[in-house]
């Protein structure tokens, strides 16, 4: 591919379909649809499109990541609980060789010990944790800046 595609893949992992009703004290009241709109609008303001996928099934996420190598410039991902458990998700991300922004709504570093480990952390160019849903906009902006060579990531 000679031209960098102007599209991002937005990946949300297991249980993120329950945003808005699941533990609002931790995750807030905004929904997955709100996040998809926020990321789409943020990316559009920087000249990018977004394809969004959410699944509670690891294989669906891996298939979407694999497909992204054909027409995406980067991946914004909140792997949900797969953050702490999935080597195969990490392998899919490294396999497509696209820049990655890892985002978490809550501050995973201030929560249970098991949430502090991420299989994605060391392969991601951008990390945003604990900014709530707004962190998705931050992650999207920083990832696009990194793709364009404008920021540090």
The pLDDT tens digits of the residues spanning 23-48 come to 888 888 999 999 999 999 999 999 99
Residue 27 falls in the annotated catalytic set: yes
Determine the length of the chain: 153
Residue 127 falls in the annotated catalytic set: no
pLDDT of residue 25: 83
The answer to whether 57 is a known ligand-binding residue is no
On whether residue 2 sits in a domain, the answer given is no
The list of the chain residues with pLDDT below 70 reads: 1-4, 110, 114, 151-153
- Beta strands, E only, 22-70: 49-54
| Residue 3 tokens, joined | 């031209």
String of b and e for 78-111 (b: at least 16 CB within 10 Å)? bbbebbbebeebbebbeebebbbbbbbbbebeee
The answer to whether 106 is a known ligand-binding residue is yes
pLDDT of residue 151: 55
On whether residue 153 sits in a domain, the answer given is no
> For the domain that residue 110 is a member of, what is the CATH number?
3.40.50.9100
Domain of 50? 7-148
């Amino acid at each position: 591919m000679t031209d960098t595609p102007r599209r991002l893949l937005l990946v949300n992992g297991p249980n993120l379909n329950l945003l808005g009703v699941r533990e609002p004290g931790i995750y807030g009241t905004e929904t997955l649809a709100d996040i998809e709109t926020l990321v789409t609008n943020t990316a559009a303001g920087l000249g990018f499109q977004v394809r969004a996928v959410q699944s509670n099934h690891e294989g669906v996420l891996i298939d979407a990541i694999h497909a992204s190598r054909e027409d995406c410039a980067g991946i914004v991902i909140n792997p949900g609980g797969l953050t702490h458990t999935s080597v195969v998700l990490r392998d899919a991300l490294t396999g497509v060789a696209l820049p990655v922004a890892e985002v978490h709504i809550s501050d995973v570093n201030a929560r249970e010990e098991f949430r502090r480990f991420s299989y994605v952390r060391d392969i991601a160019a951008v990390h945003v944790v604990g900014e709530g849903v707004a962190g998705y906009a931050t992650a999207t902006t920083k990832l696009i800046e990194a793709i364009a060579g404008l920021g540090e990531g």
